[in-house]
Amino acid sequence: MEKFKKLKNEGNDFVKMGDYEEAANKYSECMKLNTEECTVYTNRALCYLKLYKYEEAKRDCDHVLQIEDSNIKAFYRRALAYKGLQVRKRNMAGI
């Protein structure tokens, strides 16, 4: 568990610095150690949203909502992912 906390804190530090790609990598490493910890999924979803990876963000939020069906962050970030996917779809239709 100590390694998990260290990786999560490193991910949080990368988020604060705006390095969302590296933060997502740290959260992914956390998931290898504990697949049931919802905060790393919602944190990685935030990173994916910042990186315009809406499908990945939605997938992480869906995973959280299977474990915690009332997780507010997961609902909110999934809504942002859906919004991003709709904007991308509209932009592609205009090409």
**Could you report the per-residue pLDDT of 11-62, keeping only the tens digit for each?**
999 999 999 999 999 999 999 999 899 999 999 999 999 999 999 999 999 9
Q: What angle do CA 69, 71, 73 make, to 5 degrees?
A: 145
Q: Is the pLDDT of residue 90 over 80?
A: no
pLDDT at 49: 98
Q: Is the pLDDT of residue 95 over 60?
A: no
Name the helix (H) or strand (E) containing 25.
helix 20-33
Residue 87 pLDDT level (bands cut at 50, 70, 90): confident
Measure Cα distances from 69 to 10, 12, 81 in Å.
Answer: 27, 24, 17
CA 26, CA 10: separation in Å to the nearest integer?
Answer: 7
Contact 24, 48 (CB under 8 A): yes
Instruction: Please name which of 2, 11, 6, 79 lies closest in space to residue 40, comparing C-alpha atoms.
Output: 11
pLDDT at 83: 95
pLDDT at 93: 66
Q: Is the pLDDT of residue 9 over 60?
A: yes
1-93: CATH number: 1.25.40.10
Domain extent listing, the chain: 1-93
